[in-house]
Amino acid sequence: MRNVLVVLSGPSGVGKGTVAKRLVEKNKDLALSISYTTRAPRKGEEDGKDYFFTTREDFDNKISQNGFLEYSNHFDNFYGTPKQFVKDKLEYGDVLLEIDVNGGLQVKNNFPDAVLIMLLPPNKEELVRRLVERNTETEDKIKARLLRLDYEMEMERLYDYSVVNDDLETAVTEIESIIEKEKNR
């Protein structure tokens, strides 16, 4: 069996964070990569646990040092996956990245064996409901995220697998099956 680098992507509000958290809770050998970001923390988020919150200057320094496996500008904030963290964790087990579609495709270019999973909403109405109910975005930001939805859905064709998140446990079980299949490849 091999250790697998798994990329979980999908539109804003689809539940990537919730699914990723549940996967890690159920699978102690699965490490969740912690991304760097220049955005401000949301209520309840902790530096070093949810993200490494950093300045744009520090982020740019990491880019110049080739310190990211992937990085992107997403809704006026930068996000990046620390390369060394992923390499270190892959030596001991599987690694899960929760990143946007562009980052996922960058990872696939750098690690062709990475497994890309697109998490999809049951429908657009449900996605809108989730974005509104999480109460972390302004109306303008929600509109911007919805405008990006079509682009993100189009990128599904470049992913290895698609999973619809209409029930948390069902989605998690389906992703666990994908990981197990890929480990035995």
- Amino acid identity at 52: F
24 burial (CB, 10 Å; 0-12 / 13-18 / 19+) is middle
Tokens 């405008």 belong to: 147
The confidence score (pLDDT) of residue 141 equals: 75
The confidence score (pLDDT) of residue 154 equals: 83
Q: What angle do CA 133, 138, 140 make, to 5 degrees?
A: 120
Phi first, then psi, for residue 70 (nearest 5°) are: -160, 155
The confidence score (pLDDT) of residue 118 equals: 96
Phi first, then psi, for residue 38 (nearest 5°) are: -95, 0
The confidence score (pLDDT) of residue 1 equals: 86
Phi first, then psi, for residue 8 (nearest 5°) are: -110, 115
- Segment-wise mean pLDDT, segments of 10 residues, the chain, 185 residues: 95 88 94 94 91 95 94 87 92 94 91 94 75 72 74 89 95 97 94
The confidence score (pLDDT) of residue 124 equals: 76
DSSP count for the chain of H helices, then E strands: 7, 9
Q: Which residues, in sequence order, are bridge partners of residue 31?
A: 95
